[in-house]
Each structure stands twice: as structure tokens, then as C-alpha cells.
Amino acid sequence: MIAVDIDGTLVPSPGTGVSPRTGRALREAEGAGIEIVIATGRRQAYALPLIVPVGLKPETVFITSNGTVTRTISGRRIDRFLLPVETARALCPMLRPFGTSVFTFDREGPGELVLESLEALHARVSLWVEANRTSILEVRPLERAFDQGEAPVQGMVCGGVEEMRRAEHCLAESAIASDIEVHRTEYPSRDLTILDILPPGCSKGSALRRLARQRGLAPEEIVAIGDNWNDLEMLEFAGRAVVVANGAPDLVDLARRRGWEIAAASDEDGVAQVIENLPESQARLAAPGSPASTQIPRQ
């Protein structure tokens, strides 16, 4: 099994897609009997437009919202965990001093994403806002988003690196610290950090662990590839942890200290290079008459 992150790992930068070489490598891996798992902080509706063109099997598993929801590409739900309404409501005044919060609900259409100020968030993550505009609903005050008793799958706040570290500390010291899981995605070069607030125990790693148990796979049979701190639990669970060279600098340093593999950067098809060098992939590429042997360029 190969579990791979999207942003910064499969996809080099916002607005780009999966490269032809990486797409071929993913399909060839599936053809060789390796299960591909997409593990992302995105919700499924926001991730599908990037992944569907790759041509993976409909039953390919999607771990989304950093581990709170697991579905197949075809939409069959495997797992879902909810952030209790009272916990979500308590987060609103706590996070308000740090910026605009967004809550994700597991539904389709307007209201899938609920926030207080579209304008304030647009100033920080304009590409995200434009890509998700049809799913966004503004509610003021944000606490009213929970008046009907529906629980979200995820909360999020984003801002500058230092500001979000203060927010993370605030959450860790709060009365609800034991009721939430906080995952940080950090982009120092853009002075941007995203804090995802999830139900307790949720992470890409815990979702991957449950899936591996269902498949009867040991960690030694799993490769995990990521670039940021929200990938940490997944990397720690897998028998082979790979961090792309363009990952969060502190995470790349940690990977070196732990002896994890550092792959080529995402804009150099680092994921493809890892997959192409797996024994299963090489055996398939070497098979007589395999079209892949002439389709995948090597570096």
C-alpha cells in the first residue's frame, strides 16, 4: 500500500495538477497490485478534481479532512468522525482573535463550508476561496452555524506562522484541549499556516492504521509519502516514510534525524521516482511487452 498526500506532494503548487509521469506511476502501481491511498487535508469534493483525471480505480480510497472522513473515489463511505456541536461552538470565540474560522460539514453544496467573513479569508487564501466559493456559506456570528444541531467534521483557522503558533498554544491550554485534535500545515515561505481542528484521535495516521487493519497489512507493507506536519502520524505509522525535499523545512530536518527517506521535490516528480523504484513496479515495467517500459521517462 502507498499512502500519498496531495498538496506539496502529488501536486507541486496551488493551481497545478498531477503530472503525466506521476499519474502513470500511480496507475502502474495499481496495475502491479499495490493499493493507492490518497490522504489529504482537503475535503473530498475539493480533492476529486485533481485526482479523478489521473484515472485511478473507482474503489481507490480517499482519506480526507486530515483523517475524519474516509471514502472511495466512487463515494462509498468507509469512516466518518464528527466534532461535537458544543465543542465546535466553543471554538468560535476562542479562535476569533486569530482570524477567520471555517467549519466543514459532510454535505454537498452551499453550507458545506461555513465561515463568518468571506472577505477576511479571501485576503489570506484567495485561491482557496475562489475554488470553493460555491460551497461557502457566511453565518454571523459563526456560533449560529450549529443552531440546527448538525456537527461538523472539521474546523480550520489560518494565518501567519507565528500567529497560528500562538493559536495552537491557546488551544493546547484551553479547557477543550482533550476534546480536539489539532494538526498544523505550515508554509514558512508564504508566512501561512493552516490549523485543522478535528475530533479527538483523528489524523491521517489513525485513518491509515484502520484501513491497514481491514486489509490485513502490516506497517512494513506500507509506504507513506508527505510534505508537511499534518502527514506526521501517517509517516510514523508506515514502515517506509518518505518526505519530499520541498516539504516543511522542520519536517525535512526531522526526517533526516529519524533516517526517513528524502525524495526529490514534488515539481521533480518525487512521488513518481519513489513508485518507479519499488520492486513491484520494476517487475511490471520489465515484463515483456509492457507498454509502461517505454512510457515512463526516467531521471
pLDDT at 296: 31
Give, in order, the Cα–Cα distances in Å from 123 to each of 118, 136, 188, 276, 285. 9, 15, 17, 40, 47
Q: Is 247 exposed, middle or buried (0-12, 13-18, 19+ CB in 10 A)?
A: buried
| Among candidate residues 130, 164, 198, the one where a domain is terminated | 198
Assess whether 208 and 129 both reside in one domain: no
Give, in order, the Cα–Cα distances in Å from 181 to each of 70, 112, 197, 235, 249. 17, 21, 6, 17, 23
Q: What's the structural domain count of the chain?
A: 2
Q: Do residues 260 and 234 make contact, with C-beta atoms less than 8 angstroms apart?
A: no
Give, in order, the Cα–Cα distances in Å from 76 to each of 73, 151, 174, 228. 8, 20, 36, 27
pLDDT at 119: 85
Assess whether 106 and 161 both reside in one domain: yes
Assess whether 117 and 59 both reside in one domain: no
- What digits encode the pLDDT tens for the residues 250-280? 999 999 999 999 999 999 999 999 999 998 6
Assess whether 65 and 212 both reside in one domain: yes
Q: Do residues 94 and 119 make contact, with C-beta atoms less than 8 angstroms apart?
A: no
> How far is residue 179's CA from residue 236's CA, in Å, rounded to a whole number?
23
**Tell me, what CATH number does 160's domain have?**
3.30.1240.10
Assess whether 225 and 190 both reside in one domain: no
Question: How large a percentage of the chain has pLDDT more than 70?
Answer: 93
Assess whether 135 and 92 both reside in one domain: yes
- What digits encode the pLDDT tens for the residues 94-134? 999 998 899 999 998 899 999 998 888 877 788 889 989 99
Dihedral angle of Cα 90, 63, 167, 112, to the nearest 10 degrees? -50
Question: How many whole angstroms from its chain centre is CA 115?
Answer: 20
- What digits encode the pLDDT tens for the residues 213-263? 999 999 999 999 999 999 999 999 999 999 999 999 999 999 999 999 999
| Among candidate residues 167, 198, 229, the one where a domain is terminated | 198
**Tell me, what CATH number does 18's domain have?**
3.40.50.1000
Q: Which residues span the domain enclosing 102? A: 85-198
Assess whether 71 and 206 both reside in one domain: yes
**Would the pLDDT of 285 be above 60?**
no
Assess whether 192 and 229 both reside in one domain: no
Assess whether 150 and 252 both reside in one domain: no
| Among candidate residues 198, 232, 266, the one where a domain is terminated | 198
Assess whether 98 and 188 both reside in one domain: yes
Secondary structure in 3-state letters for the chain:
CEEECCECCCECCCCCCCCHHHHHHHHHHHHCCCCEEEECCCCHHHHHHHHHHHCCCCCCEEEEHHHCEEEECCCCEEEECCCCHHHHHHHHHHHHHHCCEEEECCCCCCCCEEECCHHHHHCCCHHHHHHHHHHEEECCCHHHHHCCCCCCCEEEEEECHHHHHHHHHHHHCCCCHHHCEEEEEEEHHHCEEEEEEECCCCCHHHHHHHHHHHHCCCHHHCEEEECCHHHHHHHHHCCEEEEECCCCHHHHHHHHHHCCEEECCHHHCHHHHHHHCCHHHHHHHHCCCCCHHHHCCCC
Mean pLDDT of 49-55: 96
pTM over 0.85: yes
Assess whether 114 and 176 both reside in one domain: yes
Query: How many residues make up the chain in this entry?
Result: 299
Mean pLDDT of 25-54: 96
**Would the pLDDT of 284 be above 90?**
no
